[in-house]
Structures are given as C-alpha cells and as structure tokens.
Amino acid sequence: MAITKRQLPSFFRFPKNPSLSQRLMVIGIAITLFFLFLAFFAPIFQAWGWLQNPEQCPVDNPVQAAPSAKYWFGTSRLGCDIFSRTVFGVQAALQVVILATALSMVIGVPLGMVSGYLGGNLDKVLLFLMDSIYTLPGLLLSVTLAFVVGRGILNAAIAISIAYIPQYYRVVRNHTVSVKTEVFIEAAQAMGASTWTVLSRYLFFNVIQSVPVLFTLNAADAILVLGGLGFLGLGLPEQVPEWGRDLKEALGDPSLGIWWTTLFPGLALTLMVVGLSLLGEGLNEFVNPRLRRQNTIRK
C-alpha cells in the first residue's frame, strides 16, 4: 500500500505555509548539498578532464587570464586555473571543518555530561577551565595553536577545535543539570544504576537536542577561521588548494583590474558560510519549540 503524505511523519512533511526561517533553511540545505556534491565529485571531474590538477600550475596556462570558455574563473598570477582550485578548495574546507567540529563535540559533550551530573570540585574546575578558554577570541586562539602544531589538515582541525569545546561543554552541562533532577533519573539511581548507565542510557539522548544546531553553526564559523589561518599562511600546506591563501596571494590584483582572482574564492567561502548558517538557524527552530510557537503566532 502506497504511503500518502498524511501518513508520513511530521519531520518529512513540508508545511503548506512555511515560515521565513523554514524557507531559508531549505536554501541552506540546497547550498550545503551543492558544496557536498562538488567535494565528492571533484576527483571524478578531474579524471574526466573538466578540472586541472589544483596542486600544480601548468606552464602552458596563460598568466592572469580573464574568465573565458576555457578558463571559467580565469587564471592566477602563477597560471593556476582558479575554477579547479576553487572546486577542490571545497574538499579541503570540509575535511578541516568536519574534523574540527567533530573533535570539539567528542570532547565537549562527555565533559559537559560528567561535569553537570557529578558536580562538586570536578564541576568547578572544568567550569573555570572552559570559561577561561571561552573568554579568548576564537581566531586568536586558533592562530596561536596553529603556530604550535604547524600546518596540515589534522593540525588545522586541532587548532580550530579547541575554541569550540567550551560551547558544547556549557550547553550540555546546563541541560544535564536541569535533567538530572527529573523523576526518571532519580528512579534509575534508586534501582542501583551505575553512573555510566545513567549517563549513556538516560541522560545522553535528553541533553543533546541542541548539539546538531551547534555543530552546524560551528562549522560555518570554522570555515571563516580556516580562511583566516590560510590568509595568514598558517592553514594547510602550500600545495593544497585553500581559499584563504588564494585570497592572500591575489590581494593586490583588484587594484590592477584583475578582479576574478579574489571574487571566486571569496564568493565560495561566503556562500558556504551562508548555507551552513541558514541550515543551523532552521535546525534551531526545529529543535526549539518556543521558536516554532513564536513563528506560528506571527502567522
């Protein structure tokens, strides 16, 4: 029997009169999927001859050629195909961003749960430590750590992730503190459930509602931080295509009328940040009943 629209769970139904935030979330999903498509199929497009090797600048390429049918985004001052470097830059950005946000989530979420549930001196120490890290500007902290750990995808992810750990910690800890006094938690404790059982079985799925939203918004911010590291020469190795470093190398080109060397890398970086930000804001409304209620009242 075919499943009708009415039978589908509410998560899969698109409302007849979507709110502005829901429309923007659809735009964010579309932009994000577009970049994921480019990252996944870039090696295939290169094998088909549609993209050049982004890590090498062919000697027969013209220098600073304007966009044309052969070079869609033009070429740089070294003769690199900007279209190829921009597309492959998606891969590098996604690898660093996913690693950075995943590392911060894997560290911050357990620390927040343990700190909020156990309390005591451990909670005070962790809270002081996380608040100290949180007060530091994220980009400044990432730049400092990048000097220490050096270049590379994993190193850049580590340098960026440290700044986001306190955010996961604070959100999860606050939820844990409010949930641990619920009746079902007290019943589990009364029945002799261990700390690990309470944390993994009863607390975890009740305190992570905001984590996907935080993950998406941090990913958008991490792209900007990675761009800043690349602009300062502290991001990825020189041969790896990176939007921030490409912008730095083309910094003086617009004053000479060579606008394409900065436009396309900068546009790609901006679109990716906008897409993830719109997706995160839409997810925030979905997981936050108060926001959904406010939008319903406005209608």
Taking alpha carbons only, the member of 98, 58, 96, 100 closest to residue 245 is 96
pLDDT in tens, 185-222: 888 888 888 888 888 888 888 888 878 888 998 999 99
Q: Which residues pair with 81 in a beta bridge?
A: 75
Q: What is the C-alpha to C-alpha distance for residues 49 and 43, in angstroms, rounded to an integer?
A: 10
Does residue 175 register a pLDDT over 50? Answer: yes
Rounded to two decimals, what is the model's pTM? 0.85
Does residue 94 register a pLDDT over 70? Answer: yes
Task: Taking residues 161-173, report their average pLDDT.
Answer: 93
pLDDT at residue 11, rounded to an integer: 45
The contacts of residue 145 (CB under 8 Å, 6+ apart) are 158, 159, 162
Q: How many residues does the chain have?
A: 299
Mean pLDDT estimate for the chain? 86
Three-state SS at 3: coil
pLDDT at residue 203, rounded to an integer: 86
Kindly indicate the confidence band of residue 30, based on its pLDDT and cuts at 50, 70 and 90: very high
> Which range has highest mean pLDDT (33-37, 173-177, 232-236, 285-289)?
33-37
Weakest mean pLDDT among 49-63, 150-164, 242-256 = 49-63
What does each C-alpha distance from 100 to 81, 87, 107, 109, 150 come to in angstroms?
28, 21, 11, 14, 15
pLDDT at residue 14, rounded to an integer: 54
Alpha carbon 229 to its chain's center: 15
Give the domains, in start order, of the chain with CATH numbers: 19-43+71-298 (1.10.3720.10)
Q: What is the C-alpha to C-alpha distance for residues 54 and 75, in angstroms, rounded to an integer?
A: 11
Answer yes or no: are the C-beta atoms of 217 and 228 closer than 8 Å: no
Q: How many Cβ atoms sit within 10 Å of the Cβ of residue 168?
A: 26
Weakest mean pLDDT among 54-63, 133-142, 172-181, 250-259 = 54-63
pLDDT at residue 3, rounded to an integer: 45
Taking alpha carbons only, the member of 70, 96, 30 closest to residue 279 is 30
- At position 239, the amino acid (one-letter code) is Q
Q: What is the C-alpha to C-alpha distance for residues 206 and 72, in angstroms, rounded to an integer?
A: 49
